[in-house]
């Protein structure tokens, strides 16, 4: 079996474990390990500058050194002024009909699909889109004070996301969709599990059911704390949770999900993602070994960096090398 096939065994929770290595090893070594499609560029990745207004009317910043495109939402510039009247403010942008898919198709043509996955991203999940359109504080209050209005927004935004998914799948036939929505901070959820089940779970279930109907594997990215909703993540149709921070109770999550959810992460990025001189190569490798020793024995786990790539680029190849080097050593040790 090649590494792609072994990854699928890990995703299915099959035992005995026969491969342990860097979680994105059977993915192309490109940005985000994803083929970047023209919708993602049109919606997110075109932005650059101190104060840029996107297709939704949201102000963003993206400057050299920033970890990503950052919404700069204030009381003054927030799009939604009153969540109960959100339809008065939100205008779902029409996806252009003349997008050029040739670059993404060419990138896929260079991928050996027998050995590597074709994955495409879809950023700005349901919760993240809402807190781009309102201040973070107002968004969290709205979830509790005006749940019906939030539910209506999530339903219509899911409809929009389904249109995106249809075009992604029709044009690129990916193996995996990398779906991005953070629901917590480093050590706690941003809302209760009950609120997740009330407002987000039904819409994600509908969205991911479409992915699965089209034969696409679902990788949900949430590099945050989500302990307590792990079974809900299974229920919505996610095949894997990428970005699992070690601040989560990973052994409990493994026990509760029982091989139904591949956990990708486990490495403490706060420890290793430092400038040269602030962390040593040995400290980086030690953190990788700790993650494998702690979480690999229970299965349905592959080590990787929570945010996919470290801000300090020099760290990434060390992490990848140690995941593969020590992972092979760990497999040998359990195989006798």
Confidence of residue 65 (pLDDT cuts 50, 70, 90): confident
Question: What tens digit of pLDDT does each residue of 229-253 get?
Answer: 999 999 999 999 999 999 999 999 9
Rg over alpha carbons for the chain, rounded to the nearest Å, is 20
Question: What tens digit of pLDDT does each residue of 11-25 get?
Answer: 999 999 999 999 999
**For residues 153 and 68, which has the higher predicted lDDT (pLDDT)?**
153
Position 66 scores a pLDDT of 87
Question: Would the pLDDT of 91 be above 80?
Answer: yes
Mean pLDDT of 303-320: 96
Query: Domains plus CATH for the chain?
Result: 3-268+294-308+325-334 (3.20.20.210)
Rounded to 10 degrees, the C-alpha dihedral 53/58/59/63 comes to -80
Position 336 scores a pLDDT of 66
| Percentage, residues of the chain above pLDDT 90 | 97
Question: Would the pLDDT of 207 be above 70?
Answer: yes
CA 243/CA 268 separation, integer angstroms? 10
Position 67 scores a pLDDT of 86
Cβ-contact 324, 279 below 8 angstroms: no
> Tokens 């049109």 identify what position?
42
* Beta-bridge mates of residue 43: none
Q: Indicate the helix (H) or strand (E) that contains 40.
A: helix 38-40
Nearest to 60 by CA among 75, 45, 40: 45
> At a CB cut-off of 8 Å and minimum separation 6, what does 39 contact?
95, 99, 164, 167, 168
Question: Would the pLDDT of 1 be above 90?
Answer: no
Angle at the Cα of 121 (from 316 to 35), degrees rounded to 5? 70
Q: Indicate the helix (H) or strand (E) that contains 53.
A: strand 49-53
């Amino acid at each position: 079996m090649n590494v792609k096939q072994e990854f699928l065994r890990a995703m299915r929770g099959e035992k005995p474990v026969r491969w342990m290595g860097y979680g994105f090893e059977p993915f192309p070594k490109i940005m985000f390990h994803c083929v970047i499609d023209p919708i993602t560029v049109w919606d997110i990745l075109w932005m650059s500058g101190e104060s840029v207004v996107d297709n939704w009317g949201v102000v963003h910043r993206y400057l050299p050194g920033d970890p990503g495109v950052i919404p700069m939402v204030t009381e003054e510039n927030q799009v939604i002024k009153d969540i109960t009247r959100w339809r008065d403010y939100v205008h779902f942008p029409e996806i252009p009909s003349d997008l050029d898919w040739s670059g993404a198709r060419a990138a896929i043509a260079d991928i050996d699909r027998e050995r590597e996955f074709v994955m495409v991203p879809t950023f700005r999940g349901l919760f993240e889109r809402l807190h781009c359109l309102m201040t973070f504080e107002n968004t969290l209050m709205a979830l509790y004070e005006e749940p019906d209005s939030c539910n209506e927004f999530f339903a219509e935004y899911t409809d929009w996301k389904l249109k995106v998914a249809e075009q992604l799948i029709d044009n690129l036939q990916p193996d995996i969709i990398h779906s991005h929505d953070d629901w917590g901070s480093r050590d706690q959820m941003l809302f209760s599990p009950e609120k997740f089940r009330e407002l987000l779970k039904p819409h994600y279930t509908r969205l991911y059911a479409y992915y699965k109907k089209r034969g696409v594997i679902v990788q949900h990215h949430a590099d945050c704390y989500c302990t307590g909703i792990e079974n809900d993540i299974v229920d919505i149709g996610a095949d894997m949770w990428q970005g699992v921070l070690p601040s989560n109770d990973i052994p409990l999550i493994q026990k509760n999900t029982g091989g139904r959810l591949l956990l990708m992460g486990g490495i403490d990025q706060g420890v290793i993602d430092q400038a040269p001189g602030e962390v040593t190569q040995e400290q980086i490798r030690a953190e990788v070994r700790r993650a494998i020793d702690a979480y690999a024995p229970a299965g349905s786990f592959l080590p990787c960096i929570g945010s996919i790539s470290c801000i300090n680029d020099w760290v990434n190849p060390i992490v990848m090398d140690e995941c593969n080097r020590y992972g092979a050593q760990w497999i040998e040790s359990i195989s006798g």
